[in-house]
Structure 1
Amino acid sequence: MNHPNPMTTDLLALAEMEAIFLPPISDSELEELAKTNPPLAHKCSGCAYRMGTDAANNPTTAANRDDCDRAGHPFWCHMVRNDLGMPVHLCAGWVDARASLHPSEKGEG
């Protein structure tokens, strides 16, 4: 059985908790962040923004997702991680959701 690394889990939880206290990310900051941490081309099969997935139904993940939406903070894809177990891509579902709230980011404004 594969158990998560408690240190990695703690670091990720701390990073997500600290994000709640940061100011919202601006469009220009998002653009810079996306250059180094691009979202995947499409929502992954387990995306927290895809109805019915384990992530979407997990109260902790759903709360983190909703907190990021409300606060304007990036939400990270949980599918691909670096050697430290930290996410390396912006969540494609979060990028889509943000674009629907900010049409100018899709080039419509």
Structure 2
Amino acid sequence: LTADEVNSFRQQENIQDIKKDIIEIVKTRTDRSFYIFCNILKNHPNPALQTLGNKLRKDVEAPEDLDILHDVPELPSHHLTVRDSFVKTTATALMKMNFSQVRLLVHGIPGSGKS
């Protein structure tokens, strides 16, 4: 939670409203915060918190096996991703090296089409 969000909770008097706001903030984030939050609750020794974690998780209807793929682009339908501009830039750099002792490093996240 951000400092602004925490400060807004301090101004509220009703604890139920604060709980609902926290859950809503975590649920609407674009990162994995909500799924991590649910898993923490599901693994808590308190049965009431385990039940809450399971209920929240079902509310968003995210299958357990897809949790790891949250906010990750879908896999391409074919095994090779081609970026024409990248290929041209790399080919030009290789031609400029002309068999010299220069090395070219291609860096990027997995699946970005480096090969």
- Band the TM-score falls in, shorter-chain normalisation: under 0.3
Q: Indicate the structure with greater helix content.
A: 2
Question: Greater Rg, structure 1 or structure 2?
Answer: 2
Compute the TM-score of the two structures, normalised by the length of structure 2. 0.27
TM-score normalised per structure 1: 0.28
**Greater RCO (CA < 8 Å, at least 6 residues apart):** 1
